[in-house]
Amino acid sequence: VSQSRYFSGGPFTDAIAPDANGQSLFDISGLVNQPFTPSFQWPAVGVVVARPKAAWNIKIEFGETYIDSNGNRQTTLAGSHQDIVVLKGGISDFALGEYNDASTTFYAQWILNGKFLTNLPNNSIVSPDQVVKLWFLGHWTENKNLTIYTDVTTNNKVGHLPITQDFVIYDNTGLIEFNINPVFQGFTLDPGEYIEAFEFWIEDESGLVSEKRKFYVDNDYHENSNYLFSANSKGGVDVWWLTGNVISSMATTGTEGYRPMAYNASSRDATILTTGKSSRRKWTINTGFKSAEEIQALTDVYLSRNLWLLVNGKLVPVILTNGEKLLNDLMQNLHEVDLELTEAHHTRYI
């Protein structure tokens, strides 16, 4: 198992004795599991961004190792290989079983069907200045010329030509990050005009090569407006707009030690000393109204090991508190939940 770039530790060699049918079944998940690299733009600079470190092109070479008649170890390669692409994400055991039941794969259902790599539902609600992130992985074996389209609907109900931008997928492009917001993409608003919705898709010379994603813009005033970035299970990074109540606090921990009273000590001299002290910022943020589909998509946030909260214009790595998480409540008609986040850093003083 090898890869030319961005793949630490390779090439790897593995060997398994064949079964009674002369076949060997390898599990290479441990070999290709690489640390997550937070390679996404914030603030957004480009609309189309290649992320070769977010998708690894892996070459698997086949061969055999045996002991010859002279007792020497021999290794020969078959001269053939298979190329695969690995994304940093995950599929539940149940979902994998469903793929097996249907005789299909994640690759066939998502990549070949041109789906964007997110569990967020279509028709999501976003803020006027939110730069939406969508992620796409091409499946072509040669360079591919493509065009992105962003169709904008505004309150004046006048038709607008879609915003377009050409780009090329190369063999080393890897995952593609799209940063989408009509104004960010160059759309000009007239006085009093505002965006109500926009739709995004990709085409080649023959037509549509991706799904279409529509976003509705909430132009109402919100006292609280926060953004949570979450590495999702499909290999991309989602941006969640949180509009509910915010409670911020600081969690402190420390250690103490005893020092005997000196014979000439004053009343200001302590005998119980703080030997260590650290703190971490904490936030409890209500999501604000979310559709039932968006609440279900929060499972990606609950399971994500890589989260960032935008605080004063800077991304702060955070950890979501473990525990039972609500996904539905028919009696309460659940449309909002609280997220308890803790800073993934310690603050210490000497």
Q: pTM, whole model, 2 decimals? A: 0.87
User: What is the rounded CA–CA span in Å between residue 140 and residue 173?
Assistant: 11
> Is the dihedral angle over the CA atoms 14, 15, 16, 22 positive or is it negative?
positive
Which residue, 119, 107, 51, is CA-closest to 83? 107
Chain CA centroid to CA 28, Å: 22
How far is it, in rounded angstroms, from Cα 107 to Cα 83?
13
Q: What is the number of other CB atoms lying within 10 angstroms of the CB of residue 217?
A: 21
Region of 174 (left: φ > 0; alpha: ψ -120 to 50; beta: rest) is left
Q: Please list the alpha-helical segments (H only) found in the chain.
A: 29-32, 93-101, 106, 292-297, 299-303
pLDDT (tens digit per residue) in 188-237: 999 999 999 999 999 999 999 999 999 999 999 999 999 999 999 999 99
pLDDT digit string (tens) for the chain, length 350 residues: 545 455 666 677 777 878 888 888 888 777 777 777 777 899 999 999 998 878 877 778 888 888 888 999 888 877 777 777 888 888 889 999 999 999 999 999 999 999 999 999 999 999 999 999 999 999 888 899 999 999 999 999 888 899 999 999 987 778 899 999 999 999 999 999 999 999 999 999 999 999 999 999 999 999 999 999 999 999 999 999 999 999 999 989 899 999 999 999 999 999 999 888 899 999 999 999 999 999 999 999 999 999 999 999 999 999 999 988 878 776 777 889 999 999 999 888 76
